[in-house]
Amino acid sequence: MALGCRNLQMTTSVMQYGYRIVEDMISGLSHYLDEQGFDSLDQMVGLALDNIVSAENLDRTQNTFSRYF
């Protein structure tokens, strides 16, 4: 949603967990919106679009390694 979508497809989730997953996702999303200070989902849609860059503009000089604790 932060990348601009306004709907989600959840067929596999419903098949795996049943229709209750819809209520759980609505509840979780409502809680997240409250925590982040959003009044509606529309305020979140598209917020991450400014962070998208083309592959040519990615920084390929930085190496990142996983570290196990």
Q: Kindly list the domain boundaries of the chain, sorted by start residue.
A: 11-50
22 vs 69, which has greater pLDDT?
22
**Do the Cβ atoms of 57 and 11 come closer than 8 Å?**
no
Report d(CA 32, CA 26) in Å as an integer. Answer: 10
Residue 48: predicted pLDDT: 94
Closest C-alpha to 1, from 48, 50, 54: 48
Closest C-alpha to 2, from 24, 29, 28: 29
Nearest 5°: CA angle at 65, between 61 and 66?
Answer: 155
Residue 10: predicted pLDDT: 83
15 vs 8, which has greater pLDDT?
15
Q: Tell me the per-residue pLDDT of 35-63, one tens digit each, with 9 for 90 and over.
A: 999 999 999 999 999 989 899 988 888 88
Residue 54: predicted pLDDT: 92
